[in-house]
Structure 1
């Protein structure tokens, strides 16, 4: 029976891009359904009634929600090439670092991006501390999982595209190559992979989008 795969996403969502990259790595054919988050479709509200957000993967009509959950689902159903390690401890640690990215790294980078002046200076410290942990994880490896792109790399994949965009907008280096040589090298290796590169959204549109987002946050700041 042929697989029926549909991915509900937006053109710019870094979370949805994780799923796009995973599907590409697995060599799976799928249909893209682009959502407008200002006017959510009936399908999105039906398939993700809890969070009402993208991405949502439909596999033979059955929805799977939340990007990291979707990555694990894809890896469980289509075994090759593997995204997660087979060793239980290594698998648990991969999940830990992926969650660390969403819980700590992304919010700390976002705080720097959406602030200015003294607030921004204070926000740099927590981001730097979080990036140090990632630098340690890359010692002796090309990718977080070893020699090939895996689950943790996809979880941090947003950095390969978004970090340089945020840096351009605020004119501030967030991942300095001298302070974080391994992380900087990883960003380049990940971004330059042909499967990854072909899926990036248009950079000029991303810059404009995130400029607007930053201005909105700054206007709301007390």
Structure 2
């Protein structure tokens, strides 16, 4: 019998994408919540000695680390989809973009103030515009519901956990992300994703995420 365990943290968007993928594939798994960042378990340190962070997928005793690598592993192990090489490369590109460009600019909002924070907001809005364009191209102008086309796929799972953090970015940055007017395709995509049972089950509430965001901000900013 397969043994699947995930080392996770409630508000981690990276851990959330792994759990959503397992839910979508119908894989039975066990979770171990890690008390981060200062009280990491012996199992986490053993399974991920290089980065010492979540998520870690442990499949039959063997660890797989880094969330996008784990997502690919889940699709290769339990998925039935057949990806064309270009489609796979495109999904990888935009998932990597989100983890680098979008995440970096978004978290600068949380940990900065004054002009540095204003620049971070401008950068994040620009990065959302790039994603709006990618969704337009990949969904045939919005005629298909997801980045994965008709199906809620790899890239959708990679991006959805960021949704629970938008309230935190808006609150710490004291602004409103204009989804309805500037990013209508993303706005509709978010609403569809939030209706999925896997997403409802896994994503933490915006208020819970905000609590984490404010704790992070206290470490970096004196308001």
Q: So what's the TM-score if we normalise by structure 1?
A: 0.91
Asked whether the 8 Å contact 2:109–2:117 carries over to 1, the reply is: yes
Q: Which residue of 2 aligns with 1:5?
A: 4
Measure, in 1, the Cα distance between the counterparts of 2:204 and 2:120.
28
Residue 125 of structure 1 and its aligned partner are, at CA, apart by 2.3
Asked whether the 8 Å contact 1:7–1:57 carries over to 2, the reply is: yes
Asked whether the 8 Å contact 1:175–1:184 carries over to 2, the reply is: no
Q: Which residue of 2 aligns with 1:46?
A: 46
Aligned length: 216
Give the SS at the match of 1:63.
Answer: strand
Q: Which residue of 2 aligns with 1:144?
A: 147
- 1:86-97 correspondence runs (5 A): 86-97=83-94
Measure, in 1, the Cα distance between the counterparts of 2:41 and 2:121.
38
Measure, in 1, the Cα distance between the counterparts of 2:77 and 2:26.
13
- 1:23-62 correspondence runs (5 A): 23-37=22-36, 38-62=38-62
Residue 112 of structure 1 and its aligned partner are, at CA, apart by 2.2
Give the SS at the match of 2:125.
Answer: helix
Q: How much is the aligned-residue C-alpha RMSD, in angstroms?
A: 1.7
| 2:19 paired with 1:16 | no
- 1:54-73 correspondence runs (5 A): 54-73=54-73
Measure, in 1, the Cα distance between the counterparts of 2:205 and 2:184.
27
Residue 44 of structure 1 and its aligned partner are, at CA, apart by 0.7
| 2:189 paired with 1:186 | yes
Residue 42 of structure 1 and its aligned partner are, at CA, apart by 1.1
Residue 4 of structure 1 and its aligned partner are, at CA, apart by 0.5
Measure, in 2, the Cα distance between the counterparts of 1:109 and 1:177.
19
Asked whether the 8 Å contact 1:161–1:191 carries over to 2, the reply is: no
Residue 26 of structure 1 and its aligned partner are, at CA, apart by 0.2
Measure, in 2, the Cα distance between the counterparts of 1:11 and 1:112.
21
Asked whether the 8 Å contact 1:3–1:59 carries over to 2, the reply is: yes
Give the SS at the match of 1:50.
Answer: coil
Extract unaligned runs of 5+ from structure 1. none
Residue 57 of structure 1 and its aligned partner are, at CA, apart by 0.5
Q: Which residue of 1 aligns with 2:202?
A: 199
Give the SS at the match of 1:147.
Answer: coil
1:172-208 Cα deviation digits (max 9, x unpaired): 1135320111111111211221221121224433222
Measure, in 1, the Cα distance between the counterparts of 2:123 and 2:107.
11
